[in-house]
Amino acid sequence: MSTPQRTFARTTLDLGDVQLHPWGREPAGPERLDALVAAAADPTIALWNPLPTADPQAAQAWLEAREDGWNRGAGAAFAALDTTHGTLLGTVNLRWTDRADGQAMIGYWFLPEARGRGLATRTTRAVTTWGFRTADARRIELAHATGNDASCRVALRCGYLPEGTLRASHLFGDGRHHDEHLHARLTTDPEPGPRGS
């Protein structure tokens, strides 16, 4: 019996004040490219989620790679946009690590003006639920540097249980390999409470 192919299909997730829109060539106007260039220059993003979007041409190439992920059903990169003004707040990305076995990984970053508002938690929860319900994900992992306390709080609030420490597992923006905490959720895990309880 063969496993059905798991595919991330383009969709927009509406959270009221925030809309999660598929990244790609659209929306990719000059303001989006400028926002990606600004994100790459932010010290927190540059350390924990380095972006190869230092100039508009590199930002366009990054968007084209996200578009390709959607086209192949292998990656689901969402731009978190302010519903009222359409400004970029951040991103949430879900991608297969073992598509046949239903294993995926999620990550996120948010611009300074969007931090401290619970947006990372709300959007990560929404994309997690979507991945389980519509793409038949079985397990979604979330890894962050052990020094990234804010990301750890998001993981826990989203119901991602801690599973251990990956030693010197990832090269971060400071040019060093950092230990990472590994968290994961299974499709059979209960949804977390309103505050991640």
Query: Is the predicted pLDDT of residue 1 greater than 90, yes or no?
Result: no
The reported pLDDT for the residue numbered 191 is 87
- The average confidence (pLDDT) of the chain is 91
- Distance, in Å, from the CA atom of 53 to the CA atom of 21, rounded to the nearest integer, reads 19
Q: How many CB atoms lie within 10 A of CB 117?
A: 13
Q: What is the pLDDT of residues 123-179, one digit of tens each?
A: 999 999 999 999 999 999 999 999 999 999 999 999 999 999 999 999 899 999 999
Q: The tokens of 158 are what?
A: 């989203």
- pLDDT confidence of 2, banded at 50, 70, 90? very low
What type of residue is 12?
T
- Bridge partners (DSSP) of residue 98 are 103
Residue 30 or 169, more confident: 169
Using a pLDDT cut of 90, give the percent of the chain over it.
Answer: 80
Whether the Cβ atoms of residue 131 and residue 137 lie closer than 8 Å to each other: yes
